[in-house]
Amino acid sequence: MRTALLCALTLTPVTLPAAPATPVSNADVVRFQDALAAARDGDFERLAQLEKRLGDDYLMQGYLDYHRLRNGLPQIDAARVKDYMRHYRDLPLANSMERLAIARYGAAGNWKALRALRDTPPITPELACYYWQAVGEQQPQEAMDAVPAMWLTGGSRPAACDPLFDKALATGVINDDLIWQRMLLAFRQGNPGLMRYLAGRLSDEHAAKGQLLRQLYNRPDMMLSLDKDLRAAQRDALISAGLHRMAHTDTPAALAAVHTLSQRPGGLDSDIRAEAERRIAWYSIIRDLPENRAWADRWLRDNGDEELLEQRTRRAVIEQQWPEVVSWIARLPVARQQSARWQYWLGRAHQAMGNTDLADIAYRDAASHRSFWGFTAADQLGQPYALNQVPPPAGDPLTDDAALQRVALLLAADEPQLARDEWLALLRRQPETQMPALADYALAQGWPALAVDTAIHARAHNVLVWRFPRAYRDQFVNAAREGDIDPYLLMAVARRESAFHSHATSPVGARGLMQVMPGTARHVAKWLDEPAPDTDDLYDPLMSIRLGSTYLSDLLKRYQGNRLLALAAYNAGPQRVDEWLSATTLPFDVWVESIPYYETREYVQAVLSYRVLLEQLDRPDAQRRVALINASERHPGYHIALLEE
Cα gap 594→578, rounded to integer Å = 14
Residue 485 reports pLDDT greater than 80: yes
Angle, helices 340-352/372-381, rounded to nearest 10 degrees: 40
Considering just the CA atoms, what is the radius of gyration of the chain in Å?
30
Concatenating the DSSP letter of every residue in 245-281 gives HHHHH-HHHHHHHHHHHHHSTT---HHHHHHHHHHHH
The reported pLDDT for the residue numbered 623 is 59
Does 74 sit behind a cis peptide bond, omega within 30 degrees of 0 on the bond before it? yes
Q: What percent of the chain has pLDDT over 70?
A: 96
Domain ranges of the chain: 219-303, 304-381, 402-467, 473-643
What pLDDT digit, counting tens, does each position of 441-471 carry?
999 999 999 999 999 999 999 999 999 999 9
The type of residue at 240 is S
pLDDT (tens digit, 9 = 90+) per residue, 379-426?
Answer: 999 999 999 999 999 989 998 889 999 999 999 999 999 999 999 999
What pLDDT, on the 0 to 100 scale, is given for residue 16? 37
Strand partners, 638: 586
Q: Return phi, psi of residue 196, to 5°.
A: -60, -45
User: Yes or no: is domain 402-467 CATH 1.10.1240?
Assistant: yes
Give the dihedral of Cα atoms 564, 569, 574, 577; nearest 10 deg.
-50
How many angstroms separate the CA atoms of 554 and 574, rounded? 11
CATH no. of 304-381: 1.25.40
Measure Cα distances from 253 to 163, 268, 283, 586 in Å: 43, 16, 12, 31
With residues binned 3-state (H G I as helix, E B as strand, rest as coil), the percentages for the chain, rounded to 5, are: 70, 0, 30
Q: Would you name the residues annotated as active-site residues?
A: 497
Q: Tell me: the pLDDT tens digits for 28-87? A: 999 999 999 999 999 999 999 999 999 889 999 999 999 999 999 999 999 999 999 999
| Alpha-carbon span 342 to 365, nearest angstrom | 10
Alpha-carbon span 199 to 194, nearest angstrom:
8
Other beta carbons within 10 Å of 31: 19
* pLDDT tens digits, one per residue of 260-299: 999 998 899 999 999 999 999 999 999 999 999 999 999 9
**Are the C-beta atoms of residues 331 and 308 closer than 8 Å to each other?**
no
**Cα(466)–Cα(251) distance, integer angstroms:** 47
Whole-model pTM: value is: 0.92
What angle is formed at CA 546 by the lines to CA 545 and CA 548, rounded to 5 degrees? 65
User: Residue 586: phi, psi to the nearest 5?
Assistant: -140, 150
Q: What's the CATH architecture for 473-643? A: Orthogonal Bundle (1.10)
